Amino acid sequence: MSDLLSQIRAASNFLRPFLKAVPRAGIILGSGLGNLVGDMEDRQEIPYEQIPHFPPSTVEGHSGTLILGTLGGHYVIAMAGRYHYYEGYTMQQVTFPVRVMKALGVDTLLLSNAAGGMNEAFSVGDLMIITDHINLQPEHPLHGKNIPELGPRFPDMSEAYSQQLVKKAEQVAAAHHISVHKGVYVGVQGPTFETRAEYRYMHRIGGDAVGMSTVPEVIVAIHGGMKVFAMSVITDLGIVPEGHENKVSHEEVLAAAKAAEPKLTLIFRELIQQL
């Protein structure tokens, strides 16, 4: 057995006694977006440090806790805080929780993130449903020898984000009069925010928003046969008129994410209800 398979087994065996049902969905919450777990009923919270092979989360706005409970009428697993490549973790570590979720029975993964907007139609606080991505991160989570038990050597990424779930999310948003955009997410390494030239470059190659997460987890979820839905909160704007500042701080990102969080929470909850 490979090291990765044995690590997945150790983590899933540790968590299985906590489960009250087979989890219907997995949720990964981004910067400043951890309050969704407050809507979960009958929840149990397990710090990452207690779970075999889960490293600690080191980023402000990420609590570093795995939560089990019911949301939208379904039993789910939620990560309040994720791992990033820029923290010094390997891509295997960044995506390890997705592997464990799959081992525990999760077949649908929902992700959120805070992202910089590059579409001129976007404003701070807007929500963007991710319909596709461009991977500019320097390492690939499937690099190395493939493990057939986890997925195929060459997974098809032509529909990385479920069109069915995108349509359902649009319907939920419309029913509650929530304005949402759709667009392409560009995944980069970080931790620096982008320069003006980088924003322009990524917009020209087809990006609508940019961030430092999500893409590795989505790749591994698809590798494992999951359906994926993801949404960005636009927390800053990278494309601004000449002469205007586009400076951004992590504190401003967290504040913008918090302000938009109730709308994202509602969409996630009702989307899970329809699974």
Tokens representing residue 229 in the block:
């839905």
Average pLDDT over residues 136-160: 96
pLDDT at 151: 96
pLDDT at 69: 95
Task: Tell me the CA end-to-end span of the chain in Å, nearest whole number.
Answer: 34
Tokens representing residue 54 in the block:
């889960």
> Is 233 a residue whose pLDDT tops 70?
yes
Which region among 54-58, 69-73, 179-183 has the lowest average model confidence (pLDDT)?
Answer: 54-58
> Looking at per-residue confidence, does 217 or 120 come out higher?
217
pLDDT level of residue 61 (50, 70, 90 thresholds): very low
Average pLDDT over residues 211-240: 93
% of the chain surpassing 90 pLDDT = 73
> Is 240 a residue whose pLDDT tops 70?
no
pLDDT at 191: 93
pLDDT at 249: 62
pLDDT at 241: 53
pLDDT level of residue 53 (50, 70, 90 thresholds): very high
Where do the domains of the chain lie?
Answer: 3-273
pLDDT level of residue 62 (50, 70, 90 thresholds): very low
> Is 15 a residue whose pLDDT tops 70?
yes
% of the chain surpassing 70 pLDDT = 89
Q: Does the 3-273 domain belong in CATH 3.40.50.2300?
A: no
Average pLDDT over residues 255-265: 79
The DSSP bridge partners found for residue 211 are 187
